[in-house]
């Protein structure tokens, strides 16, 4: 069952619109001029040489990446635990757990950002990467919570029962049956959490300190000054790198699956 010609045409046009900004940025990064023009003037790799030699970009990349991973891991753990609590816990009303887990998703960033800053500045977390990682993790919790909750509803309780009937202890059942069943969903949620953190600028700007400068913060300061081709180059490298990582991961997973079947 294939889609009709009309919708296919729309899809292709939209695809071009989606990709257009990225294409423009990639093209302008190879300009030999000092200002961004499109089409670019001449061809050169000078801006790539510049960013690879620039500490600020390298440091920001490391900070962004570390923050993103920390945030994703924290969000995965918290989101998963809350999902289990909502689905299977009996003490705390489920609605309470769900409200708590979902709120970060519906609070506009600028609102959350002010709150994070006003609260965290009073603690020793401030001026440390954990402050931003924790804040970003909170933004990622709803994704992980939802994904795991959805997976839990799909888990047939009889599978676990079967395992325990066969003599497995409770912890064994959790470790060998339940966790593997929901892990992919938790990781997918974590991926969303990572993206959220990776591209987040409002909260990051508020919590930024000399040692805590992420890529979006650099981008924003460049955007305010008028972008330079070096920014295009950095953005292109980052997009490419991210995609390459994902493709490698995809290939790895294919090979793993090939082995297991």
Nearer to another protein, 21 or 45 (CB): 21
Nearer to another protein, 175 or 248 (CB): 248
Shortest distance in whole angstroms from residue 94 CB to another protein: 4
- 63 neighbors 213 (Cβ within 8 angstroms): yes
Q: Shortest gap between Cβ of 45 and another protein (angstroms)?
A: 19
Q: Which residue has the tokens 């992919």?
A: 184
CA 211 to the chain's CA centroid: 21
Minimum distance, C-beta of residue 140 to another protein, in the bound complex (Å): 11
How far apart are CB 252 and another protein at their closest, in Å?
5
Distance of CA 196 to the CA centre of its chain: 4
End-to-end CA distance of the chain: 29
d(CA 224, CA 39): 22
Write down the least CB distance from residue 137 to another protein, Å: 8
Query: Between 78 and 168, whose beta carbon lies closer to another protein?
Result: 78
Report the distance separating Cα 214 and Cα 212, nearest Å.
6
Q: Is 64 left (phi over 0), alpha (psi -120 to 50) or beta?
A: alpha
């Amino acid at each position: 069952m294939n889609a009709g010609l009309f919708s296919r045409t729309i899809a292709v046009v939209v695809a071009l619109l989606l990709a257009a900004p990225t294409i423009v940025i990639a093209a302008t990064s190879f300009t030999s001029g000092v200002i961004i023009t499109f089409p670019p003037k001449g061809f050169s790799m000078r801006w790539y040489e510049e960013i690879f030699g620039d500490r600020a970009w390298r440091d920001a990349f490391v900070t962004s990446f570390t923050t993103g991973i920390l945030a994703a891991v924290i969000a995965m753990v918290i989101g998963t635990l809350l999902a289990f609590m909502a689905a299977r816990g009996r003490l705390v009303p489920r609605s309470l757990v769900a409200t708590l887990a979902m709120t970060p998703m519906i609070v506009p960033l600028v609102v959350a950002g002010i709150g994070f800053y006003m609260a965290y500045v009073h603690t020793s977390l401030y001026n440390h990467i954990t402050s931003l990682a924790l804040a970003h993790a909170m933004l990622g919790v709803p994704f992980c919570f939802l994904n795991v909750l959805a997976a839990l509803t799909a888990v047939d309780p009889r599978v676990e029962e079967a395992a325990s009937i066969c003599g497995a202890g409770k912890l064994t059942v959790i470790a060998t049956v339940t966790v593997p069943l929901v892990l992919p969903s938790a990781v997918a949620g974590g991926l969303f959490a990572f993206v959220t953190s990776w591209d987040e600028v409002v909260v990051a700007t508020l919590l930024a300190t000399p040692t805590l400068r992420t890529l979006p913060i650099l981008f924003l300061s460049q955007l305010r000054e008028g972008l330079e081709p070096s920014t295009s180059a950095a953005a292109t490298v980052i997009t490419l790198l991210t995609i390459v990582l994902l493709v490698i991961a995809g290939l790895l997973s294919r090979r793993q699956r090939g082995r297991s079947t």
